[in-house]
Structure 1
Amino acid sequence: MNHSLKTLFVIAVLIAIVWNLGAGLYYMLVDKGGSRRTVNALTRRIVLSVGLILAIIFAAWMGWIDFHSVGSNPPR
């Protein structure tokens, strides 16, 4: 998988997470507790967040992505 395609996938999921967070806020202000749209939007946000974390862990385990070493102690 191409490096830019991986980055695009992560950015797209992050945009979807922020979108659902904003939708939850909007429905909370507009519906005044009259529907379950707020709960559904925030549930989708949690599912997307957990899915993204699990996808990153799986990709690192498979060797598809490598983490950088910023913050680690350099060898002496």
Structure 2
Amino acid sequence: MSRSVFAARFREVFGTSPASYVTAVRMRRAEDLLDAGTPVSETSRALGYASDEGFRRAFRRHTGVAPSAWRSGRRSLTP
């Protein structure tokens, strides 16, 4: 199967591109790791990002906040 056919079929089934789907899965995992108190740098590496800055940009695009702000916000919500 060609790359373009795969992408078209994937989009038909999941309603999004393969790349967007993978990014969403990675960001959900990042949220979980950050909620658990994992440092941003360690989270970045665990998700396969080559640089912390690349991870920070992707996370901010996906969630609207920086990873460090996500961690701080979650910590303040815990009783």
TM-score (norm 2): 0.36
Q: Which structure is richer in relative contact order (CA contacts within 8 A, separation 6 or more)? A: 1
